[in-house]
Amino acid sequence: MQAINKILFTAILALPLLASAQGLKLQKSADDADYYDGQITVRGQYTRNLNDEILGDAVCFNVDDADAALIPRRGGDARSAWFCFSNQDTAVNTFKLGNKPPRGYCGHQGRATVTVNQYVVYAGESEGTDVAKLVSARGISKAQPVRCYQGE
């Protein structure tokens, strides 16, 4: 019984350490970017648009609302919670996005839970995006083709 109490006591003491193990800590701020250390795990949708006007061929991740609070933002920054992967080749391989989509489609999308680190918040005035390094992914759904935007 005494051994069980010691184990429970140790677990209770360690719980705050485990809870703080996930999270991002601001390391440095510059005019256009905030650099974070640590890692987070978030659920959401991965996307690859092969001909985005601004990003080009990029694999990015839209974070579910339930996990959006884990994405750091400067005060007054109301952008949605999304980022692109800094290690694009790893993201393409992890999500199995090597094939070109069928004719009439410009990319792929699917769902996953990802762990990222080396998060950088883009805070510039012009076009740009947050970036993070993909560490791992699980619960990856098969990528589905996405139709090209036709405009109005």
Which backbone phi and psi does 13 adopt, to 5 degrees?
Answer: -65, -35
Is 3 among the domain residues?
A: no
Q: What is the pLDDT of residues 14-59, one digit of tens each?
A: 333 333 346 999 999 988 899 999 999 999 999 998 877 777 789 9
Whether 47 contacts 59, CB under 8 Å? yes
Q: What is the pLDDT of residues 76-132, one digit of tens each?
A: 888 899 999 999 999 999 999 977 888 889 899 999 999 999 999 998 877 789 999
- Residue 137: enclosing H or E segment and its boundaries? strand 131-138
Is 31 among the domain residues?
A: yes
Distance CA 30, CA 137 (A): 30
Is 39 among the domain residues?
A: yes
Distance CA 147, CA 152 (A): 14
Is 17 among the domain residues?
A: no
Q: Beta strands 131-138 and 105-122: pairing type?
A: antiparallel
* Gyration radius from the chain CA atoms: 19
Is 152 among the domain residues?
A: no
pTM for the model: 0.81
Is 40 among the domain residues?
A: yes
Distance CA 41, CA 61 (A): 12
Residues facing 137 on adjacent strands? 114
Parent domain of 134? 23-147
Which backbone phi and psi does 44 adopt, to 5 degrees?
Answer: 165, -155
Say what the pLDDT of residue 40 is: 98
Is 14 among the domain residues?
A: no
Query: How many domains does one find in the chain?
Result: 1
How many other C-beta atoms are found inside a 10 Å radius of the C-beta of residue 15? 10
Is 50 among the domain residues?
A: yes
